[in-house]
Amino acid sequence: MVKPPPTDDVDESALRVGPPAEAAAGVTGVRVALEHATGQMGVPRAAVALTKLNQVDGFDCQGCAWPDPAPGERHHAEFCENGAKAVAEEATQAHVGADFFAAHSVEELRGRSEYWLGKQGRIVEPVVLRPGASHYEPIEWGEAFALVAEHLNALDDPDRASFYTSGKASNETAFVYQLFARSFGTNNLPDCSNMCHESSGDALHETIGVGKGSVTLDDVHEAELIVVMGQNPGTNHPRMLSALEVAKRNGARIVSINPLREPGTMRFKNPQKPRGVIGKGTELADLHVPVRINGDLALFQAIGKALVEAHDRGEEVLDDDFIAGHTVGFERWADHVRSLDPDVVRRATGLDEATVGAVVEEFKRSRRTVICWAMGITQHKNAVATIKEIVNVALAQGNIGERGAGLCPVRGHSNVQGDRTMGIWERSPDWFLDRVDAEFSITSPREHGLDTIATIEALRDGHLDVFFAMGGNFVSAAPDTAVVEEAMGNAALTVHVATKLNRSHLAHGRTALILPPLGRSEKDMTGGQLQRITVEDSMSAVHASRGPLEPASEMLRSEVDIVCSLALATLGEDHVVPWDAMRRDYTEIRKRIGRVVPGCDGYEELVDRPGGFTLPHPPRDSRTFPTPQGKAVFSPSPLEVLEVPEGHLLLQTLRSHDQFNTTIYGLDDRYRGVTGGRRVVFVHPTDLREAGLADGDHVDLVSVWGGVERRVHDFRVVPYDQPRGCAAAYYPETNPLVPLDHMADGSRQPASKSVVIRLVPRGGQS
Ligand code: SF4
């Protein structure tokens, strides 16, 4: 039976806290998945959607970018609990149309939570908020395109528009979208990658010459040692647990490096296996390393030092042949880590010598190591340096370009990596722009554009007039929420291509549009024929995706259609780019992708193969490194301890188990024992005691940056096992605490995982 959307909003007084779980998934995961699926889609629709999810002839899950097994190795149910929730959110039978917008003013909707907004259902027709109006109202597609075109063509400089992309957009959408922005005359192409893995891309580009991970799923299965750091796969990439289980059964050891002991890395109850249903499941982590927040750089320098010193003593722990044949800078790096002060390591990591020594022993024993990481590593001021240090250790042991070894940044958005491959990048290199120009006879601008933070600053400072978002929830995903909301108000026009309502639609420019696209789970009959799209996962595998469901409304248009129609309205029917042909048949887009994007030659045929194809990756494929030096690069980094003043804590923002980025599926973070609400802050019990607080007390969280106080109100404290001096709380509720200019050196990625805060009695003086 389909559940109606909630009329009441979240009631935090219903929040309950129990003990954290000891294992992930299991039959509870299956039950919850089915409840979400049938409750929102109804049984017949859920049955169709779930049997086609992640299948060769089906559609790609929106829930994360974890790769699919080879075609012959897939189960009939090839999805996880959170994959089912992601599909249910999109394919819900609840709808938001003209009646809804007539009944609810923007002001009223602003008072609602992100959870309530999302649960109202799919937006089923385009709507506009006209200057000074209180309510969104319907608008015809043609008028909407003309309105955007009018605003764009009135700009005296194309750089006064910015085109944001969320990582769910398909390769076809991304390709035509970047082409439109560049044909219009700007490289202002910020994307969600600026907020999730920009640090990985920058560090990997500089050190191995390719800004992507170097492993395949087989490498994970065949590793001797897998290190999972700054990552919570049980919630954020749940099918990764199946890969870890395979590796474990093949004899791998697993080290989890994370301030929190997340159940997903401890024990996995695989619902596809009897041992996961009636047994205790599979123990995953052999060693949990509760590193202090921001201590990963110091930890990896300590690992490097121990390996180098062991090598100096004659132990065979480094790969001398690989270092000599494929790298530069080893001696400089080795000297740097030899001089590391153990006391600095202790202060930075919060770990004793024995724990660091235990990690070192794991690295020494292994001849095939895969190192995985996610936003617990990328969202720090020293994130790029930390990832370079991870690379240093991998290079020193020759753990790249070998079966069962490599570097594995794990992406969250399902096609964020593909979007970047297709040219969604404010800093696309000249060679890529040259290929675009040659294919389409346009002249792309060469000056770099605005990234996410620069876009917000430009809006804040009145340098942008048009903000266009292809998906996502920009306002809630970005740091410093109050600043972003105010900045949006400075735009003449904000446009969101969005399947569901979210807070970004309520922090709008003087005119605002919401343009509803088809979802990935839906049939796309653009141009009168069934279209397919393509996506790339975290391991550079590209495959086709075709939705099986009837669309939520006849008024929806595909994202490709929206971009091409907008391009025609803005650039004119006689523009040199064949927008109409590409709109009518996505094969035309793929032909051009094949000619423009390296490794995609014959793209249409490549994605015809069952399971698709894997893009070339020279370090992985042949141990060749396309850096300026022609070799992999060791890069020493200075080490600073992030000092936290007395009485303060270091906060990391994180997801609950019941959410995907800013989409709140429900109020049940059962892995951490929190249900019924979201305003909690997890703190070490001793820190709580010393602050004069007890379990269940309510506090405000306060950060001070550049003399400005930021505060979020009324959080229940929860004692939780983690290093002293650390704290954790959910985003987007805590995003207002993250200053806009608190970001990673080099990559400019928001440093949301290390924010200095104080706990202040609820409503009290700071
Ligand atoms: S692991 Fe990720 S891609 Fe796979 S089903 Fe789960 S959420 Fe979807």
pLDDT tens for 36-58 read 999 999 999 999 999 999 999 99
| CA atoms of 116 and 120, how far apart (whole Å) | 7
Least confident interval from 62-66, 175-179, 278-282, 309-313: 278-282
Residues 453-457 have a mean pLDDT of 98
The pTM of the whole model exceeds 0.95:
yes
For residue 353, what are the CA distances in angstroms to 291, 303, 316, 360? 12, 11, 22, 10
Alpha carbon nearest to ligand 1 atom 3, residue: 64
Q: Please write the tens of the pLDDT for every residue from 656-679.
A: 999 999 999 999 999 999 999 999
Q: What is the per-residue pLDDT for 531?
A: 98
Q: What percentage of the chain reaches a pLDDT higher than 70?
A: 99
Least confident interval from 69-73, 309-313, 481-485, 744-748: 69-73
| Pairwise pLDDT comparison (62 vs 165), residue with the higher score | 165
Residue type, 268: F
3-state helix, strand, coil in the chain (%, to 5): 40, 20, 45
**Does ligand 1 have an atom closer than 6 angstroms to the CB of 80?**
yes
**Does ligand 1 have an atom closer than 6 angstroms to the CB of 82?**
yes
Q: Please write the tens of the pLDDT for every residue from 175-199.
A: 999 999 999 999 999 999 999 999 9
- Measured in angstroms, how far is the CA atom of residue 732 from the centroid of ligand 1? 21
Tokens of 268: 């996995």
Residues 609-629 have a mean pLDDT of 97
> Which of 30, 81, 237, 535 for mutating ligand 1's site (highest number of atoms within 8 Å of CB)?
237
Q: Is the pLDDT of residue 63 over 70?
A: yes
Judged by DSSP in three states, 682 sits in: strand
Q: What's the CA dihedral at 738, 743, 748, 749 to 10 degrees? A: -60
**Does ligand 1 have an atom closer than 6 angstroms to the CB of 238?**
yes
Q: How many CB atoms lie within 10 A of CB 42?
A: 16
Q: What is the per-residue pLDDT for 605?
A: 96
**Does ligand 1 have an atom closer than 6 angstroms to the CB of 418?**
no
* Alpha helix (H) residue ranges in 250-288: 263-266, 274-277
Q: Is the pLDDT of residue 275 over 80?
A: no
Q: What is the per-residue pLDDT for 271?
A: 82
Looking at the DSSP bridge assignments, the partners of residue 533 are 545
Q: Is the pLDDT of residue 766 over 70?
A: no
| CA atoms of 697 and 90, how far apart (whole Å) | 37
Residues 257-266 have a mean pLDDT of 91
Q: What is the per-residue pLDDT for 266?
A: 87
| CA atoms of 255 and 369, how far apart (whole Å) | 11
| CA atoms of 120 and 136, how far apart (whole Å) | 15
Q: How many residues does the chain have?
A: 766
For residue 70, what are the CA distances in angstroms to 42, 79, 180, 334? 30, 14, 35, 40
**Does ligand 1 have an atom closer than 6 angstroms to the CB of 64?**
yes
Q: What is the per-residue pLDDT for 591?
A: 98
Q: What is the per-residue pLDDT for 159?
A: 98
Q: In which band, very low, low, confident or very high, does the pLDDT at 267 lie, cut at 50, 70 and 90?
A: confident
Alpha carbon nearest to ligand 1 atom 8, residue: 83
- Tell me if 557 sits within 8 A of 141, measured CB to CB: yes
Q: Calculate ∠ Cα 597-603-604, nearest 5°.
A: 145
Q: Please write the tens of the pLDDT for every residue from 400-449.
A: 999 999 999 999 889 999 999 999 999 999 999 999 999 999 999 999 99
> Which of 239, 268, 521 for mutating ligand 1's site (highest number of atoms within 8 Å of CB)?
239
Q: How many CB atoms lie within 10 A of CB 502?
A: 22
Residue 689 contacts by C-beta under 8 Å, 6 or more apart in sequence? none
**Does ligand 1 have an atom closer than 6 angstroms to the CB of 625?**
no
Q: Please write the tens of the pLDDT for every residue from 575-597.
A: 999 999 999 999 999 999 999 99
- Measured in angstroms, how far is the CA atom of residue 665 from the centroid of ligand 1? 14
Q: What is the per-residue pLDDT for 764?
A: 73
Task: State the first-to-last Cα distance of the chain, in angstroms, to the nearest integer.
Answer: 49
| CA atoms of 438 and 185, how far apart (whole Å) | 16
Mean pLDDT of the chain: 96
Closest ligand 1 atom to 78 CA: 5
Closest ligand 1 atom to 82 CA: 7
Q: What is the per-residue pLDDT for 528?
A: 97
Per-residue DSSP letter, 524: -
> Which of 51, 60, 64 for mutating ligand 1's site (highest number of atoms within 8 Å of CB)?
64
- Which runs of E-coded beta strand occur in 215-279? 225-229, 253-257, 267-269
Q: What is the per-residue pLDDT for 572?
A: 98
Q: What is the per-residue pLDDT for 694?
A: 96
Q: What is the per-residue pLDDT for 712?
A: 98
- Measured in angstroms, how far is the CA atom of residue 63 from the centroid of ligand 1? 5
Q: Please write the tens of the pLDDT for every residue from 496-516.
A: 999 999 999 999 999 999 999
Angle, to 10 degrees, between the axis of helix 430-440 and the axis of helix 586-596?
130
Q: Is the pLDDT of residue 91 over 90?
A: yes
| CA atoms of 150 and 465, how far apart (whole Å) | 12
